[in-house]
Structure 1
Amino acid sequence: MTAPPPLLDVAGALLTEAAHLYRDRPHASRVLRGQLARLGEPLRIAVAGRPGTGKSTLVNALVGEQLAPVRLARRDAHFTWYRDAAALRVSGQFRGGPPRDLAVSRSSDGLWLEPSSMPPANLDRVLVEYPTRALRDMVLIDSPALADSGDGERDPVAARLAEEADAVVYLSRHAEPAELSGLRATLDSPVARAAPVHSILVLSRADEIGAGKIDALLSARQLARRSRRENGACAAFQSVVAASGLVAFAGKSLQDEDFAALSLMATVSRADLERYLLSVDTFCGPRFPVELGPDARRALLTQFGLFGIRLAVTLVRTGCDSRIKLSAQLAQRSGLSELREAIGGNFLERREVLKARSALLGLESVLRAEPRRGGERLAAAMERMLAGLHEVRELRLIAALVAGRLSLPTPLRDEAVRLLGAEGTSVPERLGVEDQRLVPEATIEALVKWRREAESVDSPAPRRQAARVVVRTCEGLLTRTAP
């Protein structure tokens, strides 16, 4: 059995053929060359959402630095890209012009462009380059807020996300259909609808659930799991997680003086301190039970929020007796680790299929906007490639199994999820073996088992269909292990 060519090689060959066909069409040629270049770039992951969902805060938490947002004097809406580099550098890309370096200053709430460096009104995007391991395998895109109207099809921000991002982390306060409609424009094409595997939903104000009580983050995680299982509006997302970017970044950026202030507050009894944590006014008011000035309290409030302060003080009282311990606990409880795992498993380890999807979307847009003789052959080749994207079927089946939308007995479900690559995409990880010598036997054993499941007349049709996807996966593993 011969292994198929790598997915990106197939996509690259298709784009190259298209670029040759459209070599005399400047706009189409530029789009296709851009798509070819993207195949070798890190994955582009956009952070998107309605106003006030905490996009920039989550970007900071993922990067581990206070870099977002990049603020302009005119407060123009712009896309900001964050990319790994040897040193901090900020540049602007202008519509109809070359990129230009921009002078910035760092503050406690992001980056500010210096007045002397203020760009003209045709700024298209800002690129922030910064040395961090968090961006080695991806480019993060902090997008302007999506329209609040719920009419995502006409939202230019959503349309641009469809063109420029390989994957989207979508932030929402609630898992309601109206709140989740902002990505509709990113699915407004046959290719996108056939491969809706590019987005993760984050319930981003997790600390606000349950009126900000101390167990709010736990309640938010339970809500995310329930939404994933039962909420049909979440079916388009590969995963649903709950996270508080504010708590996550507060943990990552915790300083000794912050820990000292929180420890001082923890010396006050719970009952006496609680009344000062009911509102911003009472927390920053003239009276306070410890020697902590209004400016220091306002700084803590900006960094943690009331819920974060309440949680941090509770953690100090219950054993987090050092800055390092408290930092780790805040990051863990924030949901950031779960979000990183979702990004890794659904996006980074599936880079090839997401890159191929972007390539097909770019080609589709060219064929639709500028039809010409010879395009029919390209469209047919594109359809064949899309039909053969087994990796898309794997991702959709993983989401259905994990969310409980498709039921299998627990042992079968766990094995299917592992074989489909949810716990790692290498052959040993899929097969659940550590000794490479056991791989051939384990592959054949899995293939025989799942063929039986696929052919069982006693199983309902959805179960047999799911088994056929796993069989195709096992056949692919067999080609990868064949001598």
Structure 2
Amino acid sequence: MSESGIVGAAGLLRQAREVFHDDAAALAVLDELEGRLAGPLRIAVAGMVKAGKSTLLNAIIGEEIAPTDAGECTRIVTWYRYGHTPRITLIPLMGEPRQLPVTREDGRLVFLLGDIQAEDVERLVVDWPSASLRELTLIDTPGIASLSQDVSGRATAFLLPEDAPTAADAVIYLMRHLHASDVRFLESFKDTSAGQSGTVNALAVLSRADEIGAGRIDSLISAAVIADRYSRDENLKPLALGVVPVAGLLAQSSRTMRQSDFEAMMLLARMDRKQWERMMLSADRFVGSAVSPELSRDVRLSLVERFGLFGIRLGVALIRGGLDGPTALAHELARRSGLGQLLETIAYLFQTRADALKARAAVVGLETLLRSSPGDRAAPLEAALERLQAGAHEFRELKLLAALRTGGVALGAENAAEAERLVGGRGSLPALRLGLAPEAGPEEVSDAARNCLNRWHMIAENPLTESSGVEACRVVLRSCEGMLAAMPAVR
């Protein structure tokens, strides 16, 4: 991000600290905003009850540290961030924070709340030494549209606060099918002051994708077709940057595969095919069938709980196809679960523009503070804030991206699609903006950027281009110029 954005936001916060030097409450807000600007990108994982939020979060982290049962802790907003040593901090609604014991059972992290009830907890903070958390802080939220109004209210209050910016810079929204409640939530997230950038900070995930094909080995193919259709849905397209299908249970278990899992699948792969096919008619039949002592009922029950029938079928098929080690099998299962595509999408949609999203969150937070401040104090900061928002190109890109997604720019379908790509709608890396392969060299990128620059100059100067289209052209031209300026060696 350019100095006009990330550095400009930091400068505004320093200026605000001078203005509010004698206001303890305002200084606390500024402390939070400065910490947010300097810290990792915050991504919330949201969705309806049993959408698979905690399971997917475990898959992203690569360890089973988020509870996936229906216990007390799934009703609490839980932050997962990088720390050199494992630590769990409980922050109550009233009173001082306290440390919880770090306890694992059967490889899974267990939260022991003691005598505190879930409704008395503001949030849990889990510090964990995972490389996946170095650049991302993940936030697990309770289920939206829960039968419990308290549980649903907690998620809504966190993600859509009435009088403050949301604590998340972006949201991954899980859905099993496209319901009206999914659309309503994403519309609400877009409409909050922290969500004015619309589609720049929301990604939809078609979770539990293996269930769409009833656990068949080709389930993810069917899920990909449905996800593509959803991504072009007129109700969803303005609200999310895309839809990615993921078999969450398989993604989690492949990232945490044990030697015993692999050995059990090896035994299954050696079974008589007819016996195998009879066993796989249902989960009950798989667990209850009489087979060799090495494949005890407990072993088979564990496989079903960890991988599901889809994961078992796929794992056995891959072993029969020649994969002969737990590491190779785990990597291939993770890839086929859709997790790789999701991680790549998070990287190019969110992480490549992390500075812009964090700076924008800081600006929104400062706006909220100024609205509740006396006019004589707020006036100088409001003017500086307005200048930053008008001048920071990254903010103009975010604004244009939202307008393009909602059809508010008169450019024509083909030009609008290209403009969306050039301002970072498919990812912020120059090659992605220009529609090139990620491995494209500097000369190829430079030539493509120069061609786009010339073409959009012509569109801007065309007397038939409407005023909203001309303004969009100016933003696109600045984006093309920025790509060229970043490659002085090949200009």
State TM-score, norm by structure 1: 0.84
Percent of residue pairs bearing the same amino acid type: 37
CA distance, structure 2, for counterparts of residue 75 and residue 176 of structure 1:
26
Quick check: 1:274 aligned with 2:272? no
Specify the alignment match of 2:457 in structure 1. Answer: 451
By how many angstroms is 1:22 displaced?
A: 3.6
Offset from partner CA, 1:228-250 (integer Å, 9 cap, x none): 12342232112211111211122
Residue segments in structure 1 that go unaligned for 5+ positions in a row: none
By how many angstroms is 1:52 displaced?
A: 0.2
Contact 2:56 2:249 in 1 (8 A): yes
- Residues 287 and 388 from structure 1, CA distance in 2 versus in 1: closer, same or farther, beyond 3 angstroms? farther
Q: Which amino acid aligns with 2:121?
A: L
Offset from partner CA, 1:210-261 (integer Å, 9 cap, x none): 2222211111112112211234223211221111121112212222221221
Offset from partner CA, 1:270-296 (integer Å, 9 cap, x none): 443233223332222253478521111
Specify the alignment match of 2:389 in structure 1. Answer: 386
Q: Which amino acid aligns with 2:55?
A: T
Specify the alignment match of 2:250 in structure 1. Answer: 247
Q: Which amino acid aligns with 1:345?
A: Y
Aligned match of 2:323 in 316, 320, 323?
320
Contact 1:172 1:180 in 2 (8 A): no
CA distance, structure 1, for counterparts of residue 171 and residue 420 of structure 2:
26
Q: Please give the residue correspondences for 1:67-466 in structure 2 after superposition, counting only pairs within 5 Å.
A: 67-69=65-67, 75=73, 77-108=75-106, 110-114=108-112, 119=116, 122-148=120-146, 155-162=153-160, 163-190=166-193, 192-285=195-288, 287-288=290-291, 291-370=294-373, 372-392=375-395, 394=397, 407-408=413-414, 417=421, 420=424, 422=426, 424-425=428-429, 444-456=450-462
Contact 1:54 1:205 in 2 (8 A): yes
Offset from partner CA, 1:37-65 (integer Å, 9 cap, x none): 21100111111111101111111100111
Quick check: 1:469 aligned with 2:475? yes
CA distance, structure 2, for counterparts of residue 7 and residue 13 of structure 1:
10
Specify the alignment match of 2:163 in structure 1. Answer: none
Q: Which amino acid aligns with 1:32?
A: L
- Residues 23 and 275 from structure 1, CA distance in 2 versus in 1: closer, same or farther, beyond 3 angstroms? farther
- Residues 436 and 277 from structure 1, CA distance in 2 versus in 1: closer, same or farther, beyond 3 angstroms? closer
Provide the secondary structure at the position in 1 that maps to 2:32: helix
- Residues 338 and 90 from structure 1, CA distance in 2 versus in 1: closer, same or farther, beyond 3 angstroms? same
By how many angstroms is 1:170 displaced?
A: 0.9
Contact 2:48 2:145 in 1 (8 A): yes
CA distance, structure 1, for counterparts of residue 175 and residue 212 of structure 2:
12
Q: Which amino acid aligns with 1:417?
A: R
Contact 2:424 2:433 in 1 (8 A): no
By how many angstroms is 1:133 displaced?
A: 1.5
Contact 1:209 1:220 in 2 (8 A): yes
- Residues 160 and 368 from structure 1, CA distance in 2 versus in 1: closer, same or farther, beyond 3 angstroms? farther
Offset from partner CA, 1:45-88 (integer Å, 9 cap, x none): 11111110111111110011111129898557222221222222
CA distance, structure 1, for counterparts of residue 424 and residue 393 of structure 2:
10
Contact 2:254 2:330 in 1 (8 A): yes
State TM-score, norm by structure 2: 0.83
Contact 1:43 1:355 in 2 (8 A): yes
- Residues 429 and 233 from structure 1, CA distance in 2 versus in 1: closer, same or farther, beyond 3 angstroms? closer
RMSD over aligned CA atoms reads: 3.8
- Residues 395 and 269 from structure 1, CA distance in 2 versus in 1: closer, same or farther, beyond 3 angstroms? farther
Contact 1:46 1:140 in 2 (8 A): yes
- Bigger Cα displacement from structure 2, 72-81 vs 288-297: 72-81
CA distance, structure 1, for counterparts of residue 142 and residue 31 of structure 2:
26
Q: Which amino acid aligns with 2:90?
A: G
Q: Which amino acid aligns with 2:257?
A: L
Provide the secondary structure at the position in 2 that maps to 1:268: coil
By how many angstroms is 1:443 displaced?
A: 5.0
